[in-house]
Amino acid sequence: MTDAVRDSYDARAKEYADLFLDHLDRVPADRESLGAFARLVSPGAGVVADVGCGPGNVVHHLAELGVEAIGYDVSPAMIDEARRAFPDSTFHVGDLTCLDLADSSLAGIVARYSLIHMAPTRLGDAFREWFRVLEPRAPVLVSFFASNSSANHGLPFDHAVATAHELFPETLVAEMQAVGFDSFEVSTRKPMDDERPLDHGTILARRGSP
Ligand SMILES: C[S@@+](CC[C@H](N)C(=O)[O-])C[C@H]1O[C@@H](n2cnc3c(N)ncnc32)[C@H](O)[C@@H]1O
């Protein structure tokens, strides 16, 4: 599934970047969730990773908030777009379930709308990898299209680029909790007029202590 997602985003990377580079200017709720995440990152703690960073605007925004951030994306063409838009930031091609990072080396992880492209039965692979690379108590921010019932967890929806799935917030929390995350804050918002008709979910959590 990851190869198909990579190829799909490679084919439409420029189009996606043109559409979403200014996303945070248009969506105050997303700036607020990133602000809440940034406040949980310990000062001087080290680097935060945006996994599935797309065109790099969130990495840039975090830097503006005073958080040192790097971006990973499985799509090389998307990483090219990010490097072109933000040449002062650091971006790597990489899979969020298999990061080229040492244990306990990250001060936080942001994953916005990247988990939606995983096979729903494999989400635990991502959470286990994040637990490995995060420092104890480091924060995680996950954004996704939220289903309103557990029965719809994993339901595919019509996504312009690659197969994507609704995710039920409580199911994600249970899976993260099973791996060792805690201190969950869950929120959802209704779509704006120009957005697809699905709720947006956000989970802010912390990696537990070993
Ligand atoms: C819907 S876009 C979101 C991009 C950006 N986070 C944003 O908020 O605009 C999903 C991104 O996740 C990336 N992605 C999907 N699966 C991934 C994986 N397993 N590892 C790393 N990146 C992945 C895609 O290539 C794409 O750039």
The CA distance from 95 to 42, in Å, is 25
Partners of 145 in the beta sheet?
A: 200
Predicted pLDDT at 12 = 95
The CA distance from 106 to 129, in Å, is 12
Mean pLDDT of the region 120-126: 97
Q: Which of 65-79, 129-143, 150-164 has the lowest mean pLDDT?
A: 150-164
Look at residue 188 and tell me if it is in a domain: no
How far CA 143 is from CA of 3, 87, 166, in Å, comes to 22, 25, 11
Tokens of 127: 């959470």
Look at residue 166 and tell me if it is in a domain: no
Look at residue 201 and tell me if it is in a domain: no
Ligand 1 pocket test: pick from 61, 73, 99 the residue with the most ligand atoms within 8 Å of its Cβ.
73
Count: domains in the chain: 1
Range of the domain at 131: 2-105+120-143
Look at residue 6 and tell me if it is in a domain: yes
User: From atom 4 of ligand 1, which residue's Cα is the shortest distance away?
Assistant: 54
- Ligand 1 atom closest to the CA of 126, numbered from 1: 19
Look at residue 34 and tell me if it is in a domain: yes
- Ligand 1 atom closest to the CA of 97, numbered from 1: 19
| Helix (H), strand (E) at residue 17 | helix 13-20
CATH classification at residue 11: 3.40.50.150
Predicted pLDDT at 159 = 79
Look at residue 184 and tell me if it is in a domain: no
Look at residue 39 and tell me if it is in a domain: yes
Whole-structure pTM value:
0.97
pLDDT at 184 over 90: yes
Look at residue 101 and tell me if it is in a domain: yes
User: From atom 8 of ligand 1, which residue's Cα is the shortest distance away?
Assistant: 112
- Which candidate, 68, 55, 65, places its Cα nearest to that of 23? 55
Predicted pLDDT at 160 = 77
Predicted pLDDT at 42 = 86
User: From atom 27 of ligand 1, which residue's Cα is the shortest distance away?
Assistant: 54
Predicted pLDDT at 196 = 86
pLDDT at 11 over 90: yes
